[in-house]
């Protein structure tokens, strides 16, 4: 038990030194209940054209298939709430995309974490994931005591709200496990449901991904956005924060201190007209390290055109 405590303390201290705001640890196990929910959601077509969500179903629900002999799932939260906001005439961009691509930033920190564990604890096997592999990260965050799943599908931390990236490290290192978060503090509040511009948030903590503005502006690869969505985007050009902005728990959000997430000036200040006049060459240069590059220049122009129709 003393060794387990020592190793657990080391992991939590190291994650804090790497800039993670919260660390929770859960026992690696198959997620049967989550599997049933995911299967139902997929069968109802709520993933739209995101076919990749149908892939590797068995990997999503069983961490030992991702890391043989897995004993622990370490869940990490990193704040991205900005201390600056966009100008009034700028087309809406989700706050997570204000700075450098979080995949790159957090992946590097996970590599450092794994290396540090190996150097200080011993030969340990593990894989780090950040929103890029078949891992049910919110389920693991819940199981490791970091918060509850809100009606908008986001993980909500009681102390700090929901503007967090979630990273997961699955490892064969045995650790002490945190108690799961069992209470739901959303209560009777329906602010996120009422505010969703496209009605994507349904009762029962179900989000119809195929109706979400983030889906249309980022995930949808077709050049035509369905006509029935016209006039419903509330000037969001890339992603959407509406359900988080209205959440009462986000009154506890504090600005992050990660230099890599510092806003790109153009994200904050360019007007819709300036975005429309931008060349593809300029876009690639300005946003080569930004999440906006995921939509590519053509996708951004498509979104802008749709907002003006």
The DSSP bridge partners found for residue 171 are 72, 126
Q: How much is the average pLDDT of 16-29?
A: 97
The whole-number average pLDDT for the span 170-179 is 97
Could you report the per-residue pLDDT of 44-69, keeping only the tens digit for each?
555 555 555 545 556 667 888 888 99
Q: Which two tokens stand for residue 180?
A: 């799961």
Question: Is the four-CA dihedral 14, 20, 24, 28 of positive or negative sign?
Answer: negative
What's the whole-model pTM score? 0.92
pLDDT of residue 203: 87
Radius of gyration of the chain (CA): 20
CA-based angle 275:243:146, to the nearest 5? 115
CA 238 to chain centre: 14
Helix ranges, 68-134 (H): 102-120
pLDDT: which is higher, 175 or 33: 175
pLDDT at 286 over 90: yes
Catalytic residue among 34, 62, 131, 245: 131
Helix (H) or strand (E) holding 245: helix 242-245
User: Is 131 considered catalytic here?
Assistant: yes
* β-pair type (201-202, 206-207): antiparallel
Tens-place pLDDT, residues 143-170: 999 999 999 999 999 999 999 999 999 9
Task: Give the other-Cβ count within 10 Å of 270's Cβ.
Answer: 21
Indicate the SS3 state at residue 247.
coil
């Amino acid at each position: 038990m003393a060794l387990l405590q020592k190793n657990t303390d080391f992991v939590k201290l190291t994650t804090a030194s790497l800039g993670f705001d919260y660390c929770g640890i859960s026992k690696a196990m198959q997620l049967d209940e989550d599997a049933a929910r995911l299967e139902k959601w997929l069968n109802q077509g709520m993933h739209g054209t995101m076919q990749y969500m149908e892939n590797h179903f068995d990997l999503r629900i069983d961490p030992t298939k991702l890391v043989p002999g897995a004993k622990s799932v370490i869940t990490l939260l990193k704040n991205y709430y900005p201390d600056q906001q966009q100008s009034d005439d700028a087309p809406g961009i989700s706050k997570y995309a204000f700075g450098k691509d979080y995949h790159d930033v957090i992946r590097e920190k996970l590599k450092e974490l794994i290396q540090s564990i190996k150097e200080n604890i011993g030969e340990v096997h593990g894989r780090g994931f950040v929103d890029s592999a078949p891992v049910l990260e919110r389920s693991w965050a819940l199981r490791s005591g970091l918060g509850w799943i809100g009606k908008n599908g986001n993980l909500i931390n009681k102390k700090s709200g929901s503007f967090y990236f979630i990273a997961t490290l699955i490892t064969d290192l045995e650790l002490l496990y945190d108690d799961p978060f069992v209470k739901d503090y959303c209560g009777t509040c329906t602010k996120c449901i009422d505010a969703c511009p496209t009605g994507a948030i349904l009762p029962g903590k179900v989000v119809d991904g195929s109706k979400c503005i983030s889906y249309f502006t980022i995930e949808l690869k077709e050049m035509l956005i369905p006509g029935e969505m016209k006039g419903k985007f509330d000037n969001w050009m890339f992603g959407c924060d509406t359900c988080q902005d209205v959440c009462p728990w986000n009154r506890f959000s504090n600005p992050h201190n990660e230099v890599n997430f510092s806003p790109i000036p153009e994200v904050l200040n360019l007007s819709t007209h300036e975005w429309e006049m931008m060349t593809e060459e300029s876009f690639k240069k300005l946003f080569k390290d930004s999440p906006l590059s995921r939509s590519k220049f053509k996708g951004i122009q498509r979104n802008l055109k749709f907002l003006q129709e």
